[in-house]
Structure 1
Amino acid sequence: MILTGPEIARQVEQGRITMDPFDPARCTTNSYDLALGHRLLVYLDDVLDPRLPSAHETREIPATGYVLQAGDFVLAETAERLGSDHYVPLIHAKSGFARLGAFAHVTADLIDLGFHGRSTLQLYATLPVMIFPGMLVAQATFWVPYGEIELYTGKYQGADGPLPSRSHLDPWAAAARD
C-alpha cells in the first residue's frame, strides 16, 4: 500500500516520517518532491574496485549551476533529511528531470526502513544538462511494510552529504582481498 500526498503530510506532522525541511506544497498525489542539495561526489579512480575504498572528491554545486556532461556519473545529496521507522521510502526520478536526458537515483531506489539522513542520489546524464541546488530532481514514495519490522542500522545510517560506496566494508570484500 502506498501513501497519498495528504497522508504523507499527516505522517510527517505526526513524526512517523522524517522530512526536514518539509514543504506541504511538495506533496503530490502519492509522493513528496525531493530537492537536490548543494554537494556532489565525483570518483577519481579510472576503475572502481568494490573491495577497496575509492578515491573521490566532494564539490559544491554553485548557485549558477553545474553542467553534467553526457556520460557523467556523480553522486549527489538530497536537500532533505528523510526516513521513517514506519514506512519504506522509495526514491524515483521526477519525470521532468528524466525528460532532460538525466537519470536520478539510477538503480538503488529502496531506502531501508529505519534509515534517517540525506539520501545519496546517483545522477547520470545522457545529454549535457545543468543542475542547480534546490532543483526538484526526485520524488519519494512511502510504502507500508508487511511483517516483522527490523530497523536499518547499516553503514549509511545518518548520512549527511553524498557518500561513496562502502562495499569494501562488506564481509565478502574482506574475504576477496585476502
Structure 2
Amino acid sequence: MILTREAILAAVDSGEVLIDPFDREQVSPNAYDWRLGERIRICAGELDAARPTVFEERVIPPEGMLLEPGQLYLGVTHERTGSERYAQLINGDHTIGALGIWVHVSAPLGHQGHAIHWTLEIRVARPVRVYPGMRFGKIVFLDTFGAGLSYQLTGRKYTRTPGIDISRLYEELAAPEGVS
C-alpha cells in the first residue's frame, strides 16, 4: 500500500519517515516531490563493469547546467529520505520526462532502514538545462508485509552511501585476463 498525503505527513511528524530537509508544500496526494541536489558527476570514457567508473564531479551553478545526450550523469537528491518501517520507491515525474530527461529508471527501490541521499542516473534525449533545487521527481512510501529487516543490518555494498555513488559492481567482478 502507498501512503497518502495525510499518512506521509503523520509519518514524518512521528519520525517513522525521514525527509531532510522537509517541506510540507512538496507533499502531493500520494508522494513527496524531491529535488535535484547541487552536485553532479559526469561519467567519462568507456564504462567497464569490472572497474570503477571514471568521472568528473561538478557543482551545478545557480544559472543551471546544460546536459547533453549520449552522456551518463549521476546526480543526487537534495533530500535525504528513509524509514525503518516503510520501503521507498523513487521516480522521475512527467514534468521532467516531458523535457526528455530520464532519471533513475534502474534502481527505484529503497529498502527499509536505508536512509540516503539517492544517487540518480540521468540521461537526456536533447540538450536540456537543469538547476539545483528544481523539483525532479517523486518518492512514495510503501507499507511492507512480513518481518522487516533494516537494510543497514544486511551488510550490502550500498549501506553507507553518502551521496552520489558510482556502480560498485567492480567489487564483485575481476577484470578479465589480459585486460588492464
Q: Which runs of 5+ in 2 are unaligned?
A: none
**How do residues 19-98 of structure 1 correspond to structure 2 at under 5 angstroms?**
19-46=19-46, 48-98=47-97
| Residue 147 (structure 1) shift | 1.1
RMSD: 1.5
1:118/1:158 contact within 8 Å kept: no
Q: Deviations over 1:92-150 (max 9, x none)?
A: 11110000111111221111221111000111100111100000011100111111111
Q: How many angstroms apart in 2 are the aligned matches of 1:152 and 1:177? A: 31
| Residue 55 (structure 1) shift | 1.5
Query: What is the total number of aligned residue pairs between the two structures?
Result: 174
Question: Secondary structure of the residue that 2:110 maps to in structure 1?
Answer: coil
| Residue 177 (structure 1) shift | 5.3
Q: What is the TM-score when the length of structure 1 is the normalising length? A: 0.92
Question: Secondary structure of the residue that 1:28 maps to in structure 2?
Answer: coil
1:106/1:124 contact within 8 Å kept: no
Q: How many angstroms apart in 2 are the aligned matches of 1:55 and 1:72? A: 13
Q: How many angstroms apart in 2 are the aligned matches of 1:177 and 1:6? A: 52
Q: How many angstroms apart in 2 are the aligned matches of 1:167 and 1:113? A: 22
Q: Deviations over 1:56-102 (max 9, x none)?
A: 22111011000111233201000011111111100011110000111
Q: What is the TM-score when the length of structure 2 is the normalising length? A: 0.91
1:107 partnered with 2:106 = yes
| Residue 160 (structure 1) shift | 2.7
1:116/1:158 contact within 8 Å kept: no
Q: How many angstroms apart in 2 are the aligned matches of 1:65 and 1:100? A: 15
**How do residues 87-166 of structure 1 correspond to structure 2 at under 5 angstroms?**
87-153=86-152, 154-166=156-168
What is the aligned partner in structure 2 of residue 167 from structure 1? 169
Percent identity over the alignment?
Answer: 34
Q: How many angstroms apart in 2 are the aligned matches of 1:123 and 1:112? A: 21
Q: How many angstroms apart in 2 are the aligned matches of 1:49 and 1:161? A: 21
Question: Secondary structure of the residue that 2:50 maps to in structure 1?
Answer: coil
Question: Secondary structure of the residue that 1:30 maps to in structure 2?
Answer: coil
Q: How many angstroms apart in 1 are the aligned matches of 2:93 and 2:112? A: 22
Aligned residue identity for 2:141: F
Question: Secondary structure of the residue that 2:15 maps to in structure 1?
Answer: coil
Q: How many angstroms apart in 2 are the aligned matches of 1:87 and 1:122? A: 23
